[in-house]
């Protein structure tokens, strides 16, 4: 008997655009695991950092609209982007802690015939897979073990900071564990929860490149053959900007960057195409062929 857990699913703008492979692989893997992701109807931007930098109340309103829509569905809201996680969670907390903010947001939502009572829990997919699905279930589905592929787990910032509700804010271990379950060898390296530069890659490129270069170098020096990501923005910086890093610093990085969902999918025997792995700018095919029994 298959048990199915239902969640409302909030993809976020980033995986609708340049990072579709994350959404694609998340859906494939969740279906295999009996995690039923029902996309939240008519969701909007969460009000992430760039919006919050100009408008505070309206950023909270954007998050609150999503939370109000999710509350109607009476399920936890699962996200794949840590920035969406932090933004939605922040609104949840601040509304609960500041009665005046709550009143303002409630009045504003009412103008759109919506209401939010504060009951929705926002969760990142990684945490759902590790805590709700768990080790046994995942191991039982492995058809194509990653056979000691050395993977640097990269957490970035906002999965655990600032709230630290699901893992240690500075030394998270959740992704390390998961990588072990699918047969990979998680690489220990000190920068695993350091910042990639985020949107600075657009607005202050030299700083963005510096932070990204440090991460790539640190992972490589500690023996990583590829890096696992859980955030579309980190993924973009590490993957699509590797060429720029090389040009800027005279380095020679060619390290494949894969979403954690793509790695699980490979271990479950799904084809590269079905996981969106063909879309990448830093090819991983040769590496995967070296480690996996079957690479489709």
Partner 1 sequence: MPEMHADRRQHSITDVFLEDIYSIPGGDKIKDCIQCGTCSASCPTSYAMDYTPREVIASLRAGLLDRVLKSNTIWLCASCYYCTVRCPAGVKLTDVMYELKRLAVEFGYVEKRAKAPVVSKLFVDLVDKNGRIAEVELVSKFMIKTNPLAALSMMPRAWKLFKRGRMPLIPHRIKGVEELKKSASTIEEISGLHAGTGKTAEEA
Residue 294 lies near partner 1 (rule: CB under 8 A): no
Residue 106: Cβ within 10 Å count: 16
> 265, 10 in Cβ contact below 8 A?
no
Task: Compare residues 41 and 119 and give the one whose CB is closer to partner 1.
Answer: 41
Site string for partner 1, 16-55 (x = CB under 8 A): xxxxx---------------------xxxx-x-xxxxxxx
Structure tokens at 271: 């084809």
Task: Compare residues 2 and 100 and give the one whose CB is closer to partner 1.
Answer: 100
Piece of the chain touching partner 1 by CB under 8 A; list 70-78, 192-200, 221-229, 266-274 = 192-200
Residues 117-146 that bind partner 1 (CB under 8 A): none
Residue 14 lies near partner 1 (rule: CB under 8 A): yes
Residue-wise DSSP of the chain? ----EEEEEE--HHHHTTTHHHHHHHHHHHHHHTEEEEEPTT-----THHHHTT-HHHHHHHHHHHHHHHHHHTSPEEES-HHHHHHHHHHHHHHHH-HHHHHHHHHHHHTTT----S-PPEEEHHHIIIIIIHHHHHHHT-SS--TT-EEEE---STTTTTT-SSS-SSS--HHHHHHHHTT-EEPP-TTTTS---TTHHHHSHHHHHHHHHHHHHHHHHTT-SEEEES-HHHHHHHHHTHHHHHHHH-------EEEHHHHHHHHTT--TGGGTGGG-SS--HHHHHHH-S---
The least distance separating partner 1 from the CB of residue 276, rounded to whole angstroms, comes to: 9
Task: Compare residues 142 and 240 and give the one whose CB is closer to partner 1.
Answer: 240
Task: Compare residues 200 and 216 and give the one whose CB is closer to partner 1.
Answer: 200
Task: Compare residues 62 and 257 and give the one whose CB is closer to partner 1.
Answer: 62
Piece of the chain touching partner 1 by CB under 8 A; list 59-67, 130-138, 174-182, 264-272 = 59-67
Residue 4 lies near partner 1 (rule: CB under 8 A): no
Residue 100 lies near partner 1 (rule: CB under 8 A): yes
Task: Compare residues 105 and 138 and give the one whose CB is closer to partner 1.
Answer: 105
The least distance separating partner 1 from the CB of residue 242, rounded to whole angstroms, comes to: 11
Residue 190 lies near partner 1 (rule: CB under 8 A): no
Choosing from 32, 108, 217, 295, the residue that interacts with partner 1 (CB under 8 A) is: 108
Choosing from 146, 157, 228, 275, the residue that interacts with partner 1 (CB under 8 A) is: 157
Choosing from 278, 289, 290, 293, the residue that interacts with partner 1 (CB under 8 A) is: 278
Residue 58 lies near partner 1 (rule: CB under 8 A): yes
Q: Which residues in 261-292 are b (16+ Cβ under 10 Å) and which e? A: bbbbbbbbebebeebbbeebebebeebbeebb
Distance of CA 52 to the CA centre of its chain: 20
> 187, 223 in Cβ contact below 8 A?
yes
Residues 256-275 that bind partner 1 (CB under 8 A): none
Which parts of this chain interact with partner 1 (CB under 8 A)? 13-14, 16-20, 42-45, 47, 49-58, 61-62, 65, 83, 86, 93-94, 97-98, 100-101, 104, 107-114, 157-158, 161-162, 164, 169-170, 194-195, 197-200, 202-204, 206-207, 211, 240, 243, 278-281
């Amino acid at each position: 008997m298959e048990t199915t857990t239902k969640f409302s699913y909030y993809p976020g703008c980033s995986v609708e655009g340049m990072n579709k492979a994350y959404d694609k692989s998340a859906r494939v893997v969740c279906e295999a695991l009996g995690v039923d992701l029902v996309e939240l109807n008519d969701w909007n931007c969460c009000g992430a950092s760039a919006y919050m930098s100009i408008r505070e109340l309206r950023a909270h309103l954007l998050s609150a609209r999503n939370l109000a829509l999710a509350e109607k569905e009476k399920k936890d809201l699962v996200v794949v982007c840590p920035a969406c996680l932090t933004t939605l969670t922040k609104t949840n907390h601040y509304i609960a802690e500041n009665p005046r903010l709550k009143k303002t947001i409630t009045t504003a939502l009412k103008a759109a015939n919506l209401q939010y009572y504060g009951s929705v829990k926002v969760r990142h997919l990684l945490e759902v897979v590790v805590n709700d699905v768990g080790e046994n279930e995942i191991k039982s589905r492995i058809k194509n073990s990653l056979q000691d592929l050395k993977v640097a787990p990269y957490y970035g910032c906002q999965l655990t900071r600032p709230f630290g509700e699901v893992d240690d804010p500075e030394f998270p271990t959740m992704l390390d564990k998961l990588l072990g379950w699918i047969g990979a060898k998680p690489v220990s390296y000190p920068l695993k929860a350091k910042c990639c530069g985020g949107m600075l890659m657009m607005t202050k490129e030299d700083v963005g490149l510096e932070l990204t270069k440090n991460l790539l170098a640190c992972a490589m020096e500690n023996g990583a053959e590829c890096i696992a990501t859980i955030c579309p923005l980190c993924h973009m910086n590490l993957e699509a900007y590797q060429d720029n890093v090389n040009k800027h610093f005279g380095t020679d990085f060619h390290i494949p960057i894969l979403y954690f969902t793509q790695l699980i999918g490979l271990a479950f025997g799904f084809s590269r195409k079905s996981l969106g792995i063909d879309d990448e700018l830093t090819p991983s095919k040769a590496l995967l062929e070296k480690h996996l029994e079957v690479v489709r």
